[in-house]
Structure 1
């Protein structure tokens, strides 16, 4: 009895289609696995990134003793993701303190306060950024300076100048400005003793 070639061809055709379908599935699965491996590597590299951190809190008291103006520093309520990377304090001339941060958006921002000449402080921190308007943070109006790759917010009074500057967005500048707190100038202990003697 001769074999039924039509039936054999039909079986072979079904086998070929099934084999091709499995092959395509395997290829697709391989592509997906490859993408997941790349994503896993990127996430692992980011999580393992060694960003240097500093504790700037001790500088607050040092500055309070040296400065004739209220010290401003980030509060404990600053959102997660703001990583302090530097703290530079200079009390030899104009009293100036700068704190650098890595921001949640993988950029950089710096808070500077100084009792040096306002224009000098702004020029050194804002670089080539030009005034473009103002930004309200709470009840304070900050001057906004901007350029293609740099920006700053500036707040000044008769005592000192505050500058938040860096390569990040004005939105992140505003977040930092919103989470600042002030520490008053310490009372003079000798003055307090004199007042006590007068009261006596």
Structure 2
């Protein structure tokens, strides 16, 4: 019994000590969100929001499609300058069921004005903050563990980016109409 225990420890300890430790830096990737958004635009039918914030990074950006609920959406994870995390979700095809699934058990706790729009403020049982609004035909949901001023920054930058994308698309369409 002692020999078996000693052999097990002799095998496990090197493996344990050779594995790198998991630190917050392990999950910081700094994805180029604007490039991924441009790549997703063909599938989305619109240019998804790719807000840029100083001293923030993104650890993922993806277009999610083919789900059983039939709602395709854009999703980006942001690491804030104060080590918080906020996930941005955007779709132009939201329905009440999809919104309820994305929000989960979060309960409405008030409203918040960001970027000139009213956002529904919700508190999740796990301590996350959730904000939801509609911007020019898109439903936007922000959720995560960060301070409300960080949500304000991301919300305002997201609204600005969506509106800029809409204006550029309208200019492109009107230029194409004038040429054709």
Structure 1 residues not aligned, in runs of 5+: 1-44
Match for residue 96 of structure 2 among 119, 122, 133? 119
Whole-Å separation in 2 of the counterparts to 1:101 and 1:94 = 22
Aligned to 1:12: none
- Indicate if the aligned counterparts of 1:115 and 1:159 stay in contact, CA closer than 8 A: yes
With over 3 angstroms needed to count, the CA separation of the structure-2 counterparts of 1:133 and 1:55, relative to structure 1, is: same
Evaluate the alpha carbon distance shift between residue 49 and residue 159 of structure 1 in structure 2; reply closer, same or farther with a 3 A threshold. Answer: closer
SS in 1 for 2:30: coil
Structure 2 gap ranges (5+): 1-20
1:49 aligns with 2:25: yes
Cα pair distance change 1:138/1:160, threshold 3 Å: closer
Following TM superposition, the consecutive aligned residue runs of length 4 or more in structure 1 with deviations greater than 4 angstroms are: 186-189
RCO greater where, 1 or 2, for CA within 8 Å and sep 6 or more? Answer: 1
> Whose radius of gyration is greater, 1 or 2?
1
Residue in 2 that maps onto 1:79:
54
Rounded Cα–Cα distance in structure 2 between residues aligned with 1:48 and 1:151: 21
Counterpart-to-counterpart distance in 2, 1:152 and 1:69? 24
Judge conservation of contact 1:152–1:163 (CA < 8 Å) in 2: yes
Q: Is the 8 A contact 2:79 2:86 kept in 1?
A: yes
8 Å CA contact 1:155, 1:161 repeated in 2 = yes
User: 3-state SS of the aligned residue for 1:136?
Assistant: strand
> 1:126, 1:151 within 8 Å by CA — same for their partners in 2?
no
Which residue does 1:136 correspond to in 2? 113
User: Given that residues 38 and 47 in structure 2 are in contact (C-alpha distance below 8 angstroms), is that contact kept between their aligned partners in structure 1?
Assistant: no
Which residue of 163, 167, 175 corresponds with 2:145? 167
Structure 2 residue matching 1:175: 3-state secondary structure: helix
Q: Which residue in 1 is equivalent to 2:5?
A: none
Q: Aligned-pair distance for 1:102? A: 1.6
- Aligned-pair CA distance for 1:91: 4.8
1:104 aligned residue: 81
2:143 matches 1:147: no
Scaled by the length of structure 2, the TM-score of the pair is: 0.66
